[in-house]
Amino acid sequence: MMKFFKSLRTLIYTIIAKIFLKDFNARIKANGFTKLNKHTKVGDNVHFNGLRVFGKGNLTIGDNFHSGFGCKILTSYHNYNGDSIPYDNTLIIKDVIIGNNVWIGIDVTILPGVHIGEGAIIQAGSVVVKSIPELAIAGGHPAKVFSSRNIEKYYQLKSNNKVS
């Protein structure tokens, strides 16, 4: 009976996630509450465990993406150099791009204008303020690259279509 309710919950979260999508290829699964926006485009085989998108900019997520719960992606921010303080009524809009085969850990925040390269991993609890190169493993506040994937192994798995 418990498995039934878990499957039902996943179905409901997945439907909610798809409602606001700009475009998507095929397989999307949401195991936790996921709120995307109309400026979000996702690839195939995308797994959300609870992610929220804030802002008016575009968000592009590649194939085989996985996120932990509590993740936030911002695509715009208030203009603090405008006509009033602490900020004025205008928004600065910056798109976020996440490559294929990216894994974002629990409670990660990604700020506007960030590009996360293919195969990158972002450690749980990180705040990503700058772009992360492909195959990098980054973490912290602000997130910094501290390691990288095994390049040969990554491309071997990719060529054999070994994705989860």
pLDDT one-digit tens code per residue, 27-60: 899 999 999 988 999 999 999 999 999 999 999 9
> 157, 54, 57, 61: which is closest to 104 by C-alpha?
61
Q: Is 80 left (phi over 0), alpha (psi -120 to 50) or beta?
A: alpha
pTM for the whole structure: 0.91
CATH assignment, 2-159: 2.160.10.10
- Active site residue: 47, 78, 115, 141, which one? 78
| 66 included as an active-site residue | no
